[in-house]
Chains A and B, each alone.
Chain A
Amino acid sequence: MNVIETTKLTKYYGKSRGIIDVDMTVAEGEIYGFIGPNGAGKSTTIRTLLGLIHPTSGSATIFGKDVTASGPEIRQEVGYLPSEVFYYDDMRVIDLLRYSASFYRKDRTAIEARIKSLAELFDLDLKKKIDDLSYGNKKKVGIIQGLAHEPKLIILDEPTGGLDPLIQQQFFHLLKEENAKGATILFSSHILSEVQKLCDRVAIIKDGSIIKVEQIKTLLENSTKRFKLELVETPVASAFAVDGVSDLAITNHSVSFLYRGRVNEITKMLAEQDLVDFLVEEPDLEEIFMHYYKKEDEQ
């Protein structure tokens, strides 16, 4: 069964583009990544699913129900964490979480117990005023607020900003636990490695349209890395004529290129070089779009 299904979902803000003809299906129990640069339409898609904005055309269903017609009913089973969290400054953390819980038709004592255990997990002081919290701690309130009612669908819009690595790890662990218990997760991000850690499938969105949906496994096999080398001698371009190398740039003693393919192949070549230093990094999304999807664009 599909938890989320969108058909030609389109949103224009006046004349400016939000998303165009987005077709997306997220199966039950899946962790679905949603990746693209800022302004590509990730938030627009997510906000349409939540009923925060209304589609210009096309439709979307969650749990088989139309998001516009059955919004409140759907949202009983949805937990949402936005990229930036804002709450009522005059409230204490526990008051806000109880207020949040009061919207759901679920057992209060169960939610209350879960709030307590999650707060303990994230080391969050429930008695503090929202106004006195650091950004990271506000984010924790957001996580608890989104997960306390044990939703069947968890929607996360760039959730990791402001979380330190340790908390992020705990958060991802928690998400995997929820997923193991049966929750479906939609996770948007502009950081590829984050999505790789967590997701089963990933949709890549650019300029308002989904340009590719891929299993993470496939994406990893085809993963593109940027190599930056520092050599003793001035390098010869022909030495880098290995399959999968692109965007080769040689300046003085340094070389930079993108490599897509099996890592073993490239390390063999590197072993023959007289290296001073070398760096392998994730290409940013723009680079992936430019090189990994060149072929699709040309078609």
Chain B
Amino acid sequence: MNVFLRELSAYRKSTIIWCASLSAILIVFMALYPAFTSDVAATKQVLGQFPEALRTALNISLSDFFTIYGFYGYLLNFAILAGAIQAMNLGTGIISKEVAGKTADFLLSKPMTRGRVVSAKLAAAFTIIVITNVVFCGVSYLAALMVATETFAIGTLLLLASTMFLVQLVFLALGALFAVLIPKIKSVIAVSMPAVFTLYIVGTLGDVLGNDKVRYMSPFKFYDTAYIIKNVGLEGKFIALEAAIIIVAIAASYVIYIKKDVRASA
């Protein structure tokens, strides 16, 4: 419990900043909704003149874009990109900080198994992600409530919002795995940013090229907004894929962390 609480308190400030930033993205974007929907026909015409490839790259679907779900789903792309960075930073940082900060000698010479150290850290990271998403869902709902011109189903909106949580979990697990695989991490950002953006670009390229298989390669494409809006549900095979990735990454993180030699820092 002590390591868990220690990590929560160490990440308190950064969690507050992330929650505030994600809320700001939501509020600013949602505030634009009335402007886009005041004259749907005109806006549709402007967007319709964009080349189709550009629309796909920007994730704009003319049929959904002007509904509250569609508009929210659109901005969600960017929020999720930011959320992925938060989650990957967290996963990489929380596991690698003892080695990077040379505090491994202190922590790992305490009477605690390494397995329990990892569990406490991952539990803290998971808690932080849950807190972030509770705030994110709450702000999403409130923002939608303010700008929506017609009634909307809270279930659909929250299901859309929950994809943030699911994508963050994948990146949290990947972050933990990277933290144990890379011997000396000097800067967490230098690890997480390239990983997140590579996967994001892979996903976007897949969209532009119309290649459906790419969806399996980028967590950003696991949960398709159009599908969720239409079916009010998530695609089972991608939930299974996500679960598999998380289990493998976390299991490998445990094994490597437990076996690793902690060499003298000098």
Give chain A's interface residues, CB within 8 Å of chain B: 13, 43, 47, 50-54, 71-76, 78, 80, 82-90, 99-100, 102-105, 145
Q: Which residue of the partner chain, among B2, B103, B105, B259, contacts A103 with CB atoms under 8 Å?
A: B2
CB of B261 within 8 A of CB of A53, answer yes
CB of A75 within 8 A of CB of B109, answer yes
CB of A43 within 8 A of CB of B109, answer no
Contacts of B101 in A (CB 8 A): 86, 88-89
Contacts of A83 in B (CB 8 A): 264, 266
A79 to chain B, nearest CB (A): 9
B91 to chain A, nearest CB (A): 19
CB of B262 within 8 A of CB of A104, answer no
Q: Nearest residue in B to A42 (C-beta to C-beta)?
A: B264
A58 to chain B, nearest CB (A): 15
Q: List 30 A-B contacts (CB under 8 A).
A: A43-B264, A47-B263, A50-B108, A50-B109, A51-B108, A51-B109, A52-B105, A52-B109, A53-B261, A53-B263, A71-B113, A72-B111, A73-B111, A78-B109, A78-B111, A82-B105, A83-B266, A84-B265, A84-B266, A86-B102, A86-B105, A86-B106, A87-B103, A88-B10, A90-B10, A99-B6, A100-B106, A100-B110, A103-B112, A145-B106
Q: Nearest residue in A to B105 (C-beta to C-beta)?
A: A82
B interface, over-half SS = loop
Q: Nearest residue in A to B107 (C-beta to C-beta)?
A: A103
B25 in the interface (beta carbon within 8 A): no
CB of B111 within 8 A of CB of A88, answer no
Q: Nearest residue in B to A73 (C-beta to C-beta)?
A: B111
A71 to B109, CA, bound (A): 9
Knowing that A53-B262, A72-B111, A86-B101 are A-B contacts, what are 12 other residue pairs whose CB atoms are under 8 Å apart, sorted by A's residue number? A47-B264, A52-B105, A71-B113, A72-B112, A72-B113, A80-B105, A84-B265, A86-B103, A88-B10, A89-B101, A102-B2, A104-B111
A273 to B106, CA, bound (A): 55
Q: Nearest residue in B to A83 (C-beta to C-beta)?
A: B266
Contacts of A52 in B (CB 8 A): 104-105, 108-109, 261-262
Q: Nearest residue in A to B1 (C-beta to C-beta)?
A: A102
Contacts of A50 in B (CB 8 A): 108-109
Contacts of A78 in B (CB 8 A): 109, 111
A87 to B110, CA, bound (A): 13
A256 to B70, CA, bound (A): 89
Q: Nearest residue in B to A142 (C-beta to C-beta)?
A: B106
Chain B CB within 10 Å — which of A85, A86, A90, A100 has the most? A86
Contacts of A103 in B (CB 8 A): 2, 110-112
Give chain B's interface residues, CB within 8 Å of chain A: 2, 6, 10, 101-106, 108-113, 259, 261-266
Contacts of A100 in B (CB 8 A): 106, 110
A80 to B107, CA, bound (A): 11
CB of A99 within 8 A of CB of B2, answer yes
A29 to B208, CA, bound (A): 73
A81 to chain B, nearest CB (A): 10
CB of B262 within 8 A of CB of A47, answer yes
3 nearest A-B residue pairs (beta carbon): A86-B102, A75-B111, A53-B261
Q: Nearest residue in B to A146 (C-beta to C-beta)?
A: B109
A282 to B215, CA, bound (A): 71
Q: Nearest residue in B to A80 (C-beta to C-beta)?
A: B109
Q: Nearest residue in B to A145 (C-beta to C-beta)?
A: B106
CB of B263 within 8 A of CB of A13, answer yes
CB of A13 within 8 A of CB of B261, answer yes
Contacts of B266 in A (CB 8 A): 83-84
Contacts of B261 in A (CB 8 A): 13, 52-54
Q: Nearest residue in B to A82 (C-beta to C-beta)?
A: B105
A204 to B266, CA, bound (A): 22
Contacts of B106 in A (CB 8 A): 85-87, 100, 145
CB of B259 within 8 A of CB of A54, answer yes
Contacts of B109 in A (CB 8 A): 50-52, 75, 78, 80
A217 to B101, CA, bound (A): 42
A104 to B110, CA, bound (A): 8
- Say yes or no: A86-B265 contact (C-beta < 8 A), given A71-B113, A102-B2: yes
A78 to B109, CA, bound (A): 9
Q: Nearest residue in A to B110 (C-beta to C-beta)?
A: A103
CB of B110 within 8 A of CB of A75, answer yes
Contacts of A86 in B (CB 8 A): 101-103, 105-106, 265
Q: Nearest residue in A to B102 (C-beta to C-beta)?
A: A86
Contacts of B259 in A (CB 8 A): 54
A51 to chain B, nearest CB (A): 7
Q: Which residue of the partner chain, among B2, B102, B111, B263, contacts A76 with CB atoms under 8 Å?
A: B111
A47 to B265, CA, bound (A): 12
Contacts of A89 in B (CB 8 A): 101
Contacts of A84 in B (CB 8 A): 102, 265-266
Contacts of B264 in A (CB 8 A): 43, 47, 82-83
A159 to B105, CA, bound (A): 14
Contacts of A51 in B (CB 8 A): 108-109
Contacts of A71 in B (CB 8 A): 111, 113
